[in-house]
Amino acid sequence: MQALRFLTAGSVDDGKSTLIGRLLFDSQAILADQLDTLERRAAGSPIDLSLLTDGLEAEREQGITIDVAYRYFATRTRKFIIADAPGHEQYTRNMVTAAAGSDAAVVLVDVTKLDLGQEHVELLPQTRRHSLLAHLLRVPSIVFAVNKIDALDNPGPGFAKVKAALEAFAQAAGLNVVATIPVSALRGDNVTQPLASDWWQGESLLQVLERLPTLQERTDAPLSLPVQYVQKDAYQSAGTGFQPRVLWGRIAHGAVKAGDTIEVLPSKQTAVVAEVRVAGDVASSAQAGTSAGLVLDRQLDVSRGDWIVTPGSATSTRQFPATLAWLDTEPAKPGRKYWVRHGNRWVQARISSIDSVLDIHSLAAQDAHELPVNAIGKVTMEVQHELPVEPFASNRVGGALIVVDPASHRTSGALLVDPIPATTEEDW
């Protein structure tokens, strides 16, 4: 079974780092010197397991996670790669980074921060925001972990109310929630071993994680390969008749073999694949998820940032609709120019229009003229040069772009391409 890549998300101080520390501690994935350091720092008090992931000095001083920390552990049945994402709104961009490519998201909910006296429990904004971002980034599985359940005098009814609120939110937002489970990261209740309780007979968090599927690459789709590096060969390849160049890149989806006809975008030139190389050696074929080099039967003008695709499977455009998760402190405004990165190419772009912004509480689309920090909105983008973008739902690589402020060089937003209607493009 493949290793599961998952992130922990949620609001600040919900216990994400402590949960990961508990998983590492209970699975005996902590080195002896690390454990010794934690015991000395505790000075007789209970060990602070959050320090296993909060490694930066600033994080230890403030008691919050700032950067994304990655940790690895394994059980008898599976290996895991954990990304501990920060919960503070200021560092939402780091959460987006962690979510990209994750197989699952564990969204923690601190039960002590919720008003259980209400008939309908109101979730925290960051719980909603992180769940929505994970959904937009096509994280296949979402798990809600209701943390600090040990702090409740009557945990059964309290958990039931929170679970009802989470399920109502998930249904309204269209989230793929595979489980909602109670945990106590501090005590270890229901983290690795099932909770012994008359009000809970379900699985532990680890049991849920062990059965989750990994993100499967689309091998049955048309070829899509963003060119990352063009290598001049030191020898002449047999049968090509020239000193070839090898076009290297990681296949986004589809597969390729010698004899296939390909198209290079945006130039729209076509050629036949003479050789496929993997790890420097000639291979019979290569498929999605593999870094491969292609030798063509003739010389074409191909450079870093171009795309190699199955002929007719993709088209280039300079204008497209998208969902924009805005992460900058300055609001996004129509007309302002930015840099965007698509695959391995940088181009200038601007927001042509902001069509709506998502209200994370009501989940309704509202009219907007700008996007404030951490807002999620529908926009129309224009780029200076044609790009072979595809809807993010069908191509996680070709449908994702990052937006960078040209003055501050900060990552300003994550751009996910929506289905593209057939329209007449306007001049730049």
| pLDDT recorded at residue 59 | 38
CB 186 within 8 A of CB 178: no
Instruction: Let me know whether 93 and 154 are in one domain.
Output: yes
Quick check: is 325 in a domain? yes
Identify which of 154, 78, 109 has the alpha carbon closest to the alpha carbon of residue 9. 109
Instruction: Let me know whether 139 and 26 are in one domain.
Output: yes
CB 407 within 8 A of CB 379: no
Give residue 47's pLDDT band: very low, low, confident or very high (50, 70, 90): low
From 87-96, 127-136, 196-205, 321-330, the region with the lowest mean pLDDT: 87-96
- In the predicted model, what is the mean pLDDT of residues 231-241? 61
Instruction: Let me know whether 140 and 230 are in one domain.
Output: no
| pLDDT recorded at residue 51 | 67
Instruction: Let me know whether 289 and 326 are in one domain.
Output: no
pLDDT reading at 276 higher than 90: yes
Quick check: is 179 in a domain? yes
What's the CATH code of the domain at 338? 2.40.30.10
What is the residue range of 301's domain?
224-309
Token pair 């601190």: residue: 110
pLDDT reading at 392 higher than 50: yes
Quick check: is 217 in a domain? no
Exposed, middle or buried, 230 (CB in 10 Å: 0-12/13-18/19+)? middle
| pLDDT recorded at residue 418 | 94
pLDDT reading at 239 higher than 60: no
Tally of domains within the chain: 3
Instruction: Let me know whether 97 and 178 are in one domain.
Output: yes
Give residue 162's pLDDT band: very low, low, confident or very high (50, 70, 90): very high
| pLDDT recorded at residue 61 | 42
**Which residue, 258, 281, 309, sits at the end of a domain?**
309
Return the percentage of the chain with pLDDT > 70, whole number. Answer: 85
CB 136 within 8 A of CB 173: no
Going through 165-305 in order, the beta strands assigned E by DSSP cover: 177-182, 224-226, 229-232, 245-250, 255-257, 261-265, 269-278, 281-283, 285-287, 291-296
Return the percentage of the chain with pLDDT > 90, whole number. Answer: 59
CA–CA distance, 381 with 389 (Å, rounded to integer) = 11
Instruction: Let me know whether 81 and 158 are in one domain.
Output: yes
pLDDT reading at 30 higher than 90: no
- In the predicted model, what is the mean pLDDT of residues 129-145? 91
For the segment 170-193, what is each residue's pLDDT rounded down to a tens digit?
999 999 999 999 999 988 999 999
- In the predicted model, what is the mean pLDDT of residues 62-82? 73
| pLDDT recorded at residue 255 | 96
Quick check: is 422 in a domain? no
Quick check: is 425 in a domain? no
Give the residue with greater pLDDT, 97 vs 122: 122
| pLDDT recorded at residue 42 | 63
Give the residue with greater pLDDT, 420 vs 341: 341
Give the helix, strand, coil percentages of the chain, each rounded to 5: 20, 35, 45
| pLDDT recorded at residue 57 | 39
Instruction: Let me know whether 46 and 153 are in one domain.
Output: yes
Instruction: Let me know whether 294 and 397 are in one domain.
Output: no
| pLDDT recorded at residue 87 | 53
**Which residue, 183, 210, 237, sits at the end of a domain?**
210
State the amino acid at position 376 in one-letter form.
I
| pLDDT recorded at residue 53 | 60
From 90-104, 275-289, 352-366, the region with the lowest mean pLDDT: 90-104
pTM given for the model: 0.81
Give residue 62's pLDDT band: very low, low, confident or very high (50, 70, 90): very low
| pLDDT recorded at residue 143 | 97
| pLDDT recorded at residue 90 | 58
CA–CA distance, 172 with 181 (Å, rounded to integer) = 20
Helix (H) or strand (E) holding 58: helix 57-62
Quick check: is 215 in a domain? no
For the segment 286-302, what is each residue's pLDDT rounded down to a tens digit?
999 899 999 999 989 99
pLDDT reading at 100 higher than 90: no
**Across all residues in the chain, what is the average pLDDT?**
86
Quick check: is 234 in a domain? yes
Instruction: Let me know whether 244 and 339 are in one domain.
Output: no
- In the predicted model, what is the mean pLDDT of residues 313-331? 92
Instruction: Let me know whether 265 and 195 are in one domain.
Output: no
Quick check: is 428 in a domain? no
pLDDT reading at 205 higher than 90: yes
What's the CATH code of the domain at 99? 3.40.50.300
Both tokens of 423, joined, read 């329209």
Give the residue with greater pLDDT, 427 vs 3: 3
**Which residue, 309, 341, 357, sits at the end of a domain?**
309
Instruction: Let me know whether 304 and 408 are in one domain.
Output: no
Give residue 271's pLDDT band: very low, low, confident or very high (50, 70, 90): very high
Instruction: Let me know whether 140 and 164 are in one domain.
Output: yes
